[in-house]
């Protein structure tokens, strides 16, 4: 039996009513989720806001995946809303180091997300300052975007160089590619449409967990 690879449901919507429905649904089969936030600037699409999340009372522990320009400007808001971890994009801020320090100062964990075209050499100097790296395996900003297989090579490379680093992947995950992804050495897999757009989201979540474990 291999290591326990976590499946993290990723909640993405631009509608506050739909947000509550998705959160309640997630509560029925998991205790942890990722909230995807998009500003319509760093990525083309726009999602619900931090204020929308803050209004919800949820039993979920959650992290915020900020697909936004200048994430350093909204860190305190997400802390107050209940986020345990901030995952921000390397490409979204002029100073990733300063953003990491600001998140730490607020007492939250730090995840660094990287777009498909960003080389591992950009991430390497920051590895010791963060809790995890999240590889985007799609061009971010669209629900159900097409998976980019070349990202798997980046994961294998970073894993070899950093055996103890927590590594995740996000985007284009389906039941058909979960086992292949699990074999790269990832610790967690963020999944949106392959859970929430399926007829039985809870069953889909369980199948994805089983597929990851079997790899």
Number of Cβ atoms within 10 Å of the Cβ of 183? 14
Which tens digits make up the pLDDT trace of 3-27? 799 999 999 999 999 999 999 999 9
Distance of CA 17 to CAs 13, 25, 52, 78, 141, Å?
Answer: 9, 13, 9, 19, 20
Q: What percent of the chain has pLDDT over 90?
A: 94
Q: Is 15 a catalytic residue?
A: no
Distance of CA 179 to CAs 71, 126, 144, 193, 208, Å?
Answer: 33, 29, 19, 17, 9
First to last CA, the chain: 9
Of residues 153, 170, 187, 200, which has the active-site annotation? 170
Q: What is the pLDDT of residue 141?
A: 72
Prediction pTM value: 0.96
Of residues 36, 39, 52, 131, which has the active-site annotation? 36
Residue 26, CA atoms < 13 Å, CB-side half-sphere? 27
Residue 177 has pLDDT above 90, yes or no: yes
Which tens digits make up the pLDDT trace of 154-176? 999 999 999 999 999 999 999 99
What are the residue boundaries of the structural domains of the chain, listed by start?
Answer: 6-214
Residue 108 has pLDDT above 90, yes or no: yes
Q: Is 36 a catalytic residue?
A: yes
CATH 3.20.20.70 fits 6-214, yes or no: yes
Which secondary-structure segment (H or E) carries 137?
A: none
């Amino acid at each position: 039996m291999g290591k326990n690879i976590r499946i993290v449901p990723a909640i993405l919507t631009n509608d506050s009513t739909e947000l509550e429905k998705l959160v309640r649904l997630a509560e029925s089969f998991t205790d942890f989720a990722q909230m995807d936030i998009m500003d319509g600037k760093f990525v083309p699409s726009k999602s619900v806001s931090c204020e929308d999340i803050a209004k919800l009372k949820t039993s979920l522990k959650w992290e915020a995946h900020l697909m936004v320009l200048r994430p350093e400007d909204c860190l305190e808001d997400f802390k107050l809303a209940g986020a345990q971890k901030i995952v921000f994009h390397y490409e979204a801020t002029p100073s990733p180091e300063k953003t990491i320090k600001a998140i730490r100062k607020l007492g939250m964990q730090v995840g660094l997300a990287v777009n498909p075209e960003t080389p591992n050499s950009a991430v390497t100097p920051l590895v010791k300052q963060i809790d995890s790296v999240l590889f985007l395996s799609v061009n971010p900003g669209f629900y159900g975007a097409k998976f980019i297989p070349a990202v798997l090579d980046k994961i294998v490379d970073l894993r070899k160089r950093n055996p103890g680093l927590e590594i995740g992947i996000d985007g284009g995950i389906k039941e058909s590619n979960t086992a292949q992804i699990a074999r790269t050495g990832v610790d967690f897999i963020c999944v949106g449409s392959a859970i929430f757009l399926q007829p039985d989201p809870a069953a889909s979540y369980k199948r994805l967990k089983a597929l990851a474990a079997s790899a």
